[in-house]
A and B are shown apart, each in its own frame.
Chain A
Amino acid sequence: DIQMTQSPSSLSASVGDRVTITCRASQTISSYLNWYQQKPGKAPKLLIYTASSLQNGVPSRFSGSGSGTDFTLTITSLQPEDFATYYCQQNYNTPYTFGQGTKLEIK
């Protein structure tokens, strides 16, 4: 199975900050990497697919990059609604594994 490791596991930031979350795969997955946002008690929401493609309706302050084994999710100018947990997920092969999540909290 492909292991996905996110860092950091938690992060405190302020409104207006720029934050970066990293995700590393245990083997190369080309660009088969998605990012999801989840708020408490809600279903996950797709933000970025194929490493860098922005899902329809997602604000442009979200961006993704990377290929191979190393990926990043960047949020520029944090907004209050961005405080949530973020997960990376590989869809290179089954089982489709997720990272452990990064909880983004208000400083």
Chain B
Amino acid sequence: EVQLLESGGGLVQPGGSLRLSCAASGFTFSSYAMSWVRQAPGKGLEWVSAISGSGGSTYYADSVKGRFTVSRDNSKNTLYLQMNSLRAEDTAVYYCAKDLIAGLWGSPRWGYWGQGTLVTVSS
């Protein structure tokens, strides 16, 4: 059974940093591209970042480019999102999501999602 478990969320001051983790199990982690998608309170979904199965390729939304870094440790079956220079508008539930198809990079179809972790940026 595929499981994705996010952690690392919490309250942080503007300008601060936070690292989110997503522990994966139930599939061959290194074979799948992964993404982070966020949802501000009461708002819609926003894609944040994606990383290929090998970790060699990444994409970012313009709203986080230069501040957030996505990475993965395939030996630990874990996806990360390092978030720096956090702003109030980064407040959201952050979900990690697994691509539906192994070996695919680009054109993601997020067939599995974690339960999300809440990041609150406030003084």
> Residues on A close to B: CB < 8 A?
1, 32, 34, 36, 38, 43-46, 49-50, 55, 87, 89, 91-92, 94-101
Instruction: State whether the Cβ of B108 lies closer than 8 Å to any Cβ in chain A.
Output: yes
Complex partner residue of A98 from B45, B108, B115, CB under 8 angstroms: B45
Taking residues whose C-beta sits less than 8 angstroms from the other chain, chain B's interface range is 20 to 34
Cβ–Cβ < 8 Å partners of B35 in chain A = 96
- Smallest distance from the beta carbon of B4 to chain A beta carbons, Å? 9
By the criterion CB–CB under 8 Å, are B115 and A32 in contact? no
By the criterion CB–CB under 8 Å, are A89 and B45 in contact? yes
Instruction: State whether the Cβ of B123 lies closer than 8 Å to any Cβ in chain A.
Output: no
The secondary structure that dominates the A interface is loop
> Residues on B close to A: CB < 8 A?
35, 37, 44-47, 50, 59, 61-62, 95, 100, 106-111, 113-116
By the criterion CB–CB under 8 Å, are B47 and A98 in contact? yes
Given A92-B107, A98-B45, A98-B47, 7 further pairs, Cβ under 8 A: A36-B110, A44-B113, A55-B111, A87-B44, A96-B108, A100-B44, A101-B44
By the criterion CB–CB under 8 Å, are A46 and B111 in contact? yes
By the criterion CB–CB under 8 Å, are A44 and B45 in contact? yes
By the criterion CB–CB under 8 Å, are B110 and A44 in contact? yes
Complex partner residue of B114 from A43, A45, A96, A100, CB under 8 angstroms: A43
Smallest Cβ-Cβ distance to A53: which chain B residue: B109
- Smallest distance from the beta carbon of A77 to chain B beta carbons, Å? 25
